[in-house]
């Protein structure tokens, strides 16, 4: 059994000052409530994490993935995502001697309409070059070489016309955009009347190679290795988890640095014009009367300007100096054209708030104008501003992408998602990753900010305010 024996202390009077009767509940401010409701909204909170993730990608990404976005790797142009491919190190200056013939070019020979015989590969076929040679065809005035990715079916299906050579040249080194794959080379003799219909074809498998000097420059072979040791060794090329672009630059690094450009424009421009709109609209609304009239009339003028047309016009009007990326003029043009929308919004809100009873009360208590603005008006405006800011970000990102698409955006080599899309769209069929990744980044960002905006708007909606 458990028995309790009261002590004298239990009968002491309560101390003064302890509010034992107070019903206590933690107070929830408006912002705390917004935050709580935002967290409850699954979609909004996911997009919030995405936005945070994007920020990390942009700011911390380059610290982790320390690849120079401007580093061109001409051995790996437009490569699909990979984790480092193997390459054979080859000697630098090993061009095979050209096979030429003067004697056979004499037109005295009776032309024989046949394909070049003994069409063959001389030396190894690798990404630095494919050496081909063939025997002369009597009476030919020249030779035409083709390269196909499929096995040719007839004389009209020989693939890319690589080069037309003089009759004296009986060998050729193909270096044109070689990929590591199977090619079908064809040779055709050319006569005075035109190309012969007879052709010789050989299949060639191209392997990845790297020049010794290039391997040394990139530190892929040991410093103390002699040339003889290094040549013929296999080295692993840099890995490109998202592939490379048209100059062999790492897509992941470019996306990270492109994010800096795109998000910089996407966030700074709205911040700037929303603040300008806030000051302008606030001033107009607060002063009222004639000032308000004139100020708002001017804002209306600016709104009336056809947006995209003026965006382009201003963009070129501000001009560009050498080496400038063009981010400045883009920002400026965006700000000049976009502030009036916020100004209108703010003015409307200010006009409304001005009439509120608490403002009248504060004024009667002798509150100064700055106090009124800072303490009462601004906090009440914050919600509306935050929502419009969140929605302005995707719009700005889209505008940057659009301008880059029509060639008036950010200037290369500064990467931006929009200009990367523009570059990628041309090779959409052959190298879809060059379009897909930047387009996905834009889409994800726009999506995240839109959903976050939706969430914020719902969370701030006073009608939907939860009871705690």
Partner 1 sequence: MWLYIGKRLISGVITIWFIATATFAGMHMVPGDPLLNDKAVTPEIRANLERAYGLDKPVFQQYLLFLKNMSQGDFGISFTQQNRRVNDIIAEHFPVSAMLGVLALLFAAGGGILWGALTALNRDRMPDHLIMFMVIICVSVPSFVFAALGQLAILRLNNLLGVSVLPVAGWGTFSHMIVPALVLGLGTMAYLTRLMRSSMLEVADTDYIRTARAKGLTPARIFFRHQLRNAILPVVTVLGPAIAAITTGGFVVELVFAIPGLGRYFVQAVQQLDYTVIMGTTVFYGAFLVLMVIAVDIVYGFVDPRIQVSKSVG
Partner 2 sequence: MKPQRPDKFRLLTCLALLCASSALAVPPAVDVANNEISIVMDQEPQWLNTVKATDAVSFRVLDHITEGLMTLDANNKVVGGAAERWELTDEKVTFWLRKDARWSDGEPVTAHDFVFAWQQVANPASASEYAFLMRSFTNGAAIIAGEMPPESLGVEAVDDHTLVAQLTAPTAYFLDLVTFISFRPVREDYYRAQGQLYAADADKMLSNGPFVLTEWVHGASLRMEKNPYYWNADAIKLDAINVPYITEDSNARFNLFMDDKISMATGLDISSMKMAMQERQKLRSFRDGTVFYIGFNHRAGRPASNRNLRRAMQSVYDVEELTYKVIGVPGNVPAYSLFPAWLEGDDDKLLAQYPPHKPVMDAEQGLEYLRLAKQELGLEEIPPLTLLLSDTPGSIKQGEHFQNLMSRKLGLEIRLDRQIFKQRLAKMSAGEYDMVGAGWGPDYNDAMTFADLFTSWNLNNRGRYSSERYDQLVLEAQKTTDQRRRNQLFSEIQDLIYEDVIILPQYERGYIYVQDKRIEGVRRSRIGGDPNYNHTWIKGAESGGGAAEGY
User: Rule CB under 8 A: which residues touch partner 2?
Assistant: 70, 72, 74, 77, 147-150, 153, 156-163, 166, 175-177, 194, 246-247, 316, 319-323, 407-408, 411-413, 422-423, 426-431
Nearer to partner 2, 177 or 379 (CB): 177
180 φ, ψ (degrees, to nearest 5): -85, 95
Please list the residues that pair with 108 across neighbouring strands: none
Which DSSP category does 326 fall into?
S
For partner 1, which residue of 52, 59, 91, 308 counts as binding (CB under 8 A)?
Answer: 308
Nearer to partner 1, 143 or 417 (CB): 417
Token reading at 50: 């995405």
Pick the piece of the chain touching partner 1 (CB under 8 A) from 67-75, 97-105, 113-121, 301-309. 301-309
316 touches partner 1 (CB under 8 A): yes
Token pair 């009476």: residue: 139
Nearer to partner 2, 155 or 384 (CB): 155
Nearer to partner 1, 257 or 449 (CB): 449
428 touches partner 1 (CB under 8 A): yes
The option from partner 2, partner 1, none interacting with 401 (CB < 5 to 8 A, set by class) reads partner 1
Non-local CB neighbours of 339 within 8 Å, separated by 6+ positions: 273, 274, 276, 277, 280, 299, 302
Q: How far is the CB of 195 from partner 2 (least distance, A)?
A: 10
Give dist(CA 13, CA 20) in Å, integer: 13
Please list the residues that pair with 97 across neighbouring strands: none
Contact 373, 282 (CB under 8 A): yes
Q: How far is the CB of 353 from partner 2 (least distance, A)?
A: 45
| The Cα angle at residue 327 between residues 326 and 328, in degrees rounded to 5 | 90
The option from partner 1, partner 2, none interacting with 306 (CB < 5 to 8 A, set by class) reads partner 1
Query: What number of CA atoms fall less than 13 Å from residue 107's CA on the CB side?
Result: 5
Q: For strands 171-174 and 209-211, give the pairing.
A: unpaired
Pick the piece of the chain touching partner 1 (CB under 8 A) from 24-32, 71-79, 275-283, 435-443. 435-443
Nearer to partner 2, 149 or 461 (CB): 149
322 touches partner 1 (CB under 8 A): no
For partner 1, which residue of 225, 272, 313, 386 counts as binding (CB under 8 A)?
Answer: 313
Q: How far is the CB of 448 from partner 1 (least distance, A)?
A: 9
**Residue 131 CA, distance from chain mean position:** 38
Is residue 326 exposed (0-12), middle (13-18) or buried (19+ Cβ within 10 Å)? buried
Give dist(CA 396, CA 394) in Å, integer: 5
Nearer to partner 1, 155 or 446 (CB): 446
Contact 246, 412 (CB under 8 A): no
324 touches partner 1 (CB under 8 A): no
- What would the x/- binding string for partner 1 be over residues 438 to 457, using CB under 8 A? -x--xxx-xx--x-------
By C-alpha distance, which of 173, 207, 179 is closest to 93? 173
Give dist(CA 81, CA 251) in Å, integer: 9
The option from partner 2, partner 1, none interacting with 318 (CB < 5 to 8 A, set by class) reads partner 1
80 touches partner 1 (CB under 8 A): no
Give dist(CA 388, CA 315) in Å, integer: 24
By C-alpha distance, which of 263, 271, 251, 254 is closest to 55? 263
Question: In 3-state terms, what secondary structure has residue 455?
Answer: helix
The option from partner 2, partner 1, none interacting with 338 (CB < 5 to 8 A, set by class) reads none
Nearer to partner 1, 270 or 418 (CB): 418
Pick the piece of the chain touching partner 1 (CB under 8 A) from 96-104, 165-173, 358-366, 398-406. 398-406
Contact 131, 173 (CB under 8 A): yes
Q: Which residues bind partner 1 (CB under 8 A)?
A: 293, 297, 300-301, 304-310, 312-314, 316-319, 394, 398, 401-402, 405-406, 408, 418, 421-422, 425, 428-429, 435, 439, 442-444, 446-447, 450
């Amino acid at each position: 059994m458990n028995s309790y024996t009261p002590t004298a202390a239990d009968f002491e009077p309560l101390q003064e000052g302890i509010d034992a009767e107070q019903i206590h509940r933690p107070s929830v401010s408006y912002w705390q409530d917004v935050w709580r409701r935002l967290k409850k909204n699954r979609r909004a909170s996911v997009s919030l994490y995405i936005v945070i993730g994007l920020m990390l990608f942009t700011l911390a990404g380059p610290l982790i993935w320390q690849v120079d976005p401007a580093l061109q790797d001409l051995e790996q142009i437009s490569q699909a995502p990979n984790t480092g491919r193997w390459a054979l190190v080859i000697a630098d200056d090993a061009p095979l001697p050209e096979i030429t013939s003067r004697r056979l070019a004499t037109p005295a020979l009776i032309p024989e309409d046949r394909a070049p015989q003994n069409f063959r590969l001389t030396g190894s076929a690798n990404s630095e070059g494919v050496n081909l040679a063939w025997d002369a065809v009597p009476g030919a005035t020249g030779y035409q070489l083709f390269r196909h990715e499929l096995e040719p079916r007839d004389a009209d299906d020989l693939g890319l016309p690589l080069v037309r050579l003089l009759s004296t040249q009986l060998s050729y080194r193909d270096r044109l955009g070689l990929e590591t794959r199977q090619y079908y080379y064809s040779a055709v003799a050319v006569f005075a009347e035109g190309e012969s219909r007879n052709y010789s074809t050989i299949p060639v498998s191209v392997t990845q190679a790297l020049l010794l000097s290039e391997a040394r420059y990139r530190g892929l072979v040991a410093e103390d290795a002699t040339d003889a040791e290094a040549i013929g060794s296999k080295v692993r090329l840099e890995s490109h988890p998202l592939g490379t672009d048209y100059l062999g630059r790492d897509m992941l690094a470019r996306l990270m640095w492109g994010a800096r450009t795109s998000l910089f424009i996407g966030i700074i421009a709205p911040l700037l014009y929303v603040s300008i709109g806030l000051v302008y609209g606030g001033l107009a609304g607060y002063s009222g009367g004639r000032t308000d009239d004139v100020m708002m009339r001017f804002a209306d003028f600016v709104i009336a300007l056809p947006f995209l047309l003026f965006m382009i016009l201003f963009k070129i009007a501000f001009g560009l100096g050498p080496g400038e990326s063009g981010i400045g003029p883009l920002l400026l043009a965006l700000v000049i054209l976009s502030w009036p929308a916020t100004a209108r919004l703010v003015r409307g809100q200010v006009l409304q708030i001005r009439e509120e009873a608490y403002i009248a009360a504060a004024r009667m208590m002798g509150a100064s104008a700055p106090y009124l603005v800072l303490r009462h008006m601004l906090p009440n405006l914050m919600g509306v501003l935050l929502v419009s800011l969140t929605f302005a970000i995707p719009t700005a990102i889209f505008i940057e992408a659009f301008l880059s698409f029509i060639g008036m955006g950010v200037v290369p080599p500064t990467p931006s998602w929009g200009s990367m899309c523009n570059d990628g769209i041309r090779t959409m069929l052959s190298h879809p990753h060059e379009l897909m990744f930047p387009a996905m980044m834009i889409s994800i960002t726009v999506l995240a900010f839109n959903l976050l905006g939706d969430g914020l708007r719902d969370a701030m909606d006073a009608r939907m305010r939860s009871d705690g």
